[in-house]
Amino acid sequence: MGISYNEKTRIFKLDTPNTSYCFGVEDSFGYLLHHYYGRRLAADGVGYLTRTGEYPFTPDRNGREKLSFLNAAPFEYPMGGMGDFREHCLEIRTREGYNTLEAGFRDYEIRRGKRPLAGLPATFGTEADCASLTVRLTDDVVGLTVELEYTVFEDLDAITRSARICNQGKGTVWLTKALSACLDEEDRDFSMLSLHGAWARERGIQYRKLGYGRQGVFSERGVSSHQDQPFLGLTTPGITQTQGEVYGFHLVYSGNFEAQTEVSQFNMTRTLLGINPYNFCWELKPGEAFQTPEVVMVYSCAGLGSMTRTYHDLYRRHLIRGPWRDRKRPVLINNWEATHFDFDLEKLLDIAREAAKAGIEMLVMDDGWFGNRFDDNRALGDWFVNEEKLPGGLDRLARELNGLGLKFGLWIEPEMVSPDSDLFRSHPDWAIQTPGREPGRCRNQYVLDLTRAEVLEYVWQRIRSILSSANIEYVKWDMNRQLSDLGSLGLPPRRQGELYHRYVLAVYELQERLVRTFPNLLLENCSGGGGRFDPGMLYYSPQIWCSDNTDAVERLKIQEGTALLYPLSTIGAHVSDCPNHYMGRTVPFETRGHVALAGTFGYELDVTGISGEDRAQIPGQVAMYHRYNDLVREGDYYRLASCRENGAYDCWQINAKDGSQALVTYVQVMSRVNFPSRRVRLEGLEPGKTYRVEQTGQTYGGDVLMYAGLPVEPLSGDFRSRQYTLIRI
């Protein structure tokens, strides 16, 4: 395991338990060329794979004419302007207006451990966990150095990559594109796997066959977005959960991104990820450096399931921080779907009293507690408690809740300002805007220009003061629009192209201050549901609200797509009332509980107003949460069946890491009559061991459960669900 450099072949070899990644230094100029990424290799004899003798532009066959070479060679980090006509990672403009870049190998360093990325979220690991490699390339004409950073984790099939671009020349250089990573490899009839959606329909799974040219997923919305996930997978034909090859690329970033694959004339795929170059232009003065975000690459030759479990383990152990990562989170009740803006102290306490009786552990007060916020048209930015609604303020509410045995959590949306707010009236220049135009409104609000130090400082002081004013143990940090009308009144004209990225850095800075100042706080990120569900935000919060759509059947698809990459412990999921708020659908209370259990679990309803029959089920569901949460939070997740594919039922399994138990959840979405009985083949059990199914008392061999399948009970009615708990005996 680890990283090596062979002085003779000039090949770097990065090994994880089951994968190898090889690239090398080319002889003529010192270009860095990619050779291989896939199943683990014993040695580095892969240099021959890198063909450089493709046909040139003209009919003559002249071998290594420079442009033919550049336009076909598999570059580790391609650069613009020199004759590689495919998409590049790095593009610049010099003071004189030129864009040609050509950087060759200079030196390298291999070491244990992993360095943090300045100002950016990233995976982390100790010297025992991982090894890192820095390869330096230089362009002596421009005076630019590119440091390519790689990390391999000892016991996970994951490799991380990022780049740092340093101006060591005499003149200012403008970066017009600075992506994080590239992978050039032969097209093996790949399809592209990506996650698409919309508000309330986040992260739907999509495959499309690659064609010649460029294709990908992008965000130009200032955030990672509901619409596209900063992820791209390349899958071989017939990929399933257990068979086929997949290359996963996930960007640890929360702003505009590009994740693109280009199939070239020679049937090579070039996959690139990084900050979207749209409206990006970064001024780099002599002596300055620019750090790109990190890409997490995972290769699996055993289907999607193994890629998924690698991402889950990596994020749980090497991305999420803080004490709540490994702790059972309190079962919360959130008042949003119960009351919207229409609540006061008494209403909240009524909910709290009933919730406490049912075993719920925390009340989260959502939007509407501050300023003049009686609806969503006003008051964002006026972060002062509305004493009309809450006499005695947050402190009194917290005390009353604590007196009932409940913790207190609070919603905030600190990145925003309403045009109708005292804050905006005093500081109209604090919103992101283009002078001379009224910025477009979304949910009747503007985005604060957090790139200005005084704005960031003001917002931070408000957050700090609110959180210090009462015993607040949880925060839901919301963000209910995307960025438009890009312009900062605090940046000079030549730096306006830095605004998108600076905005993301400012959000990271605020959240870093928050988690450092309040280390025991449980933070849940949110953006109109799951509009900023990305690995960057997970560095600050161990959980993210997955979607405003709380309908349990819609959630099956949303949570399946989300769990393709994210551990269940991160997926904000609540039981809500029926007919569902947005969908109008009625699903049994039991099914709603089973679906929410495959996430953080909590409630989003007026517990005083639901039927007695539903309310009576809450204590049992809370007990179920306490029984299974360790397993759900820490176990191995297997997707056994998808209603998206079969049109009838969903099934997933979670195995304890020590193999002692497993939980299978089966949801029959559409009821059918006179159909064959159903079995689901389980995964990850020990073939020679026996398992008892708690709910039926039956025992089976692990081999039987995996190769023949667990019989599932025929259920009558739509949207019904069952749990099967397997105990190894």
Residues acting as catalytic residues: 478, 548
User: What single-letter amino acid sits at 3?
Assistant: I
Which regions of 302-398 does DSSP assign to beta strands (E)? 332-334, 362-365
> Do residues 559 and 594 lie in contact, with contact meaning Cβ atoms separated by under 8 Å?
no
Q: Which SS3 state, helix, strand or coil, does residue 620 take?
A: helix
Compute how many other C-beta atoms are within 10 angstroms of the C-beta atom of residue 57. Answer: 9
443: left (phi over 0), alpha (psi -120 to 50) or beta: left
- In angstroms, give the least distance from the CB of 628 to ligand GLA: 25
- In angstroms, give the least distance from the CB of 65 to ligand GLA: 56
The residue among 409 and 497 lying less far from ligand GLA, judged by its C-beta, is: 409
The residue among 184 and 382 lying less far from ligand GLA, judged by its C-beta, is: 382
- The 32-39 sheet, strands edge to edge: 2-6, 11-15, 19-25, 32-39
For 671, what's the count of Cα atoms within 13 Å in the CB-facing half-sphere? 11
The residue among 185 and 367 lying less far from ligand GLA, judged by its C-beta, is: 367
- In angstroms, give the least distance from the CB of 538 to ligand GLA: 17
- In angstroms, give the least distance from the CB of 412 to ligand GLA: 10
Give the separation between CA 109 and CA 149, rounded to whole angstroms: 10
Q: Is 516 exposed, middle or buried (0-12, 13-18, 19+ CB in 10 A)?
A: exposed
CA distances from 141 to 261, 283, 404, 622 (A): 30, 18, 70, 65
The residue among 154 and 376 lying less far from ligand GLA, judged by its C-beta, is: 376
The residue among 314 and 362 lying less far from ligand GLA, judged by its C-beta, is: 362
Give the separation between CA 536 and CA 231, rounded to whole angstroms: 12
- In angstroms, give the least distance from the CB of 202 to ligand GLA: 11
The residue among 280 and 411 lying less far from ligand GLA, judged by its C-beta, is: 411
CA distances from 518 to 188, 329, 450, 467, 540 (A): 49, 16, 21, 8, 12
> Do residues 429 and 346 lie in contact, with contact meaning Cβ atoms separated by under 8 Å?
no
The residue among 529 and 599 lying less far from ligand GLA, judged by its C-beta, is: 529
In this structure, the dihedral spanned by the alpha carbons of residues 171, 176, 180 and 182, taken in order and rounded to 10 degrees, is -110
User: What single-letter amino acid sits at 60?
Assistant: D
- In angstroms, give the least distance from the CB of 426 to ligand GLA: 23
The residue among 78 and 531 lying less far from ligand GLA, judged by its C-beta, is: 531
Give Dmax (Cα) for the chain: 86
Pairing of strands 543-545, 522-525: parallel
Residue 300: what are its φ and ψ, rounded to 5°? -135, 135
- In angstroms, give the least distance from the CB of 365 to ligand GLA: 10
Pairing of strands 636-641, 649-655: antiparallel
The residue among 547 and 665 lying less far from ligand GLA, judged by its C-beta, is: 547
Give the separation between CA 546 and CA 600, rounded to whole angstroms: 10
Which pair of structure tokens corresponds to residue 25? Answer: 């230094």
For 26, what's the count of Cα atoms within 13 Å in the CB-facing half-sphere? 22
Q: Which residue is nearest to ligand GLA (CB)?
A: 367
Give the separation between CA 481 and CA 527, rounded to whole angstroms: 8
- In angstroms, give the least distance from the CB of 203 to ligand GLA: 15
Tell me which residue of 525, 399, 523 sits closest to 473, measured CA to CA.
Answer: 523
Bridge partner residues of 545 (DSSP):
572
- In angstroms, give the least distance from the CB of 368 to ligand GLA: 8
CA distances from 156 to 13, 374, 537 (A): 16, 49, 22
Distance between first and last Cα of the chain: 35
- In angstroms, give the least distance from the CB of 342 to ligand GLA: 13
Interface residues with ligand GLA (CB under 6 A)?
Answer: 336, 366-367, 376, 411, 478, 480, 526, 528-529, 545, 548
| 87 Cβ contact partners less than 8 Å away, ≥ 6 residues apart | 78, 214, 260, 262, 270, 272
Distance from chain centroid for Cα 647: 27
CA distances from 337 to 133, 543, 558, 578 (A): 49, 19, 19, 11
- In angstroms, give the least distance from the CB of 528 to ligand GLA: 5
Give the separation between CA 506 and CA 504, rounded to whole angstroms: 5
The residue among 411 and 446 lying less far from ligand GLA, judged by its C-beta, is: 411
Q: Which SS3 state, helix, strand or coil, does residue 152 take?
A: strand
- In angstroms, give the least distance from the CB of 406 to ligand GLA: 19
The residue among 529 and 561 lying less far from ligand GLA, judged by its C-beta, is: 529
Helical ranges in 29-160 per DSSP H: 66-70
**H/E stretch holding 290:** strand 289-291
The residue among 497 and 599 lying less far from ligand GLA, judged by its C-beta, is: 599
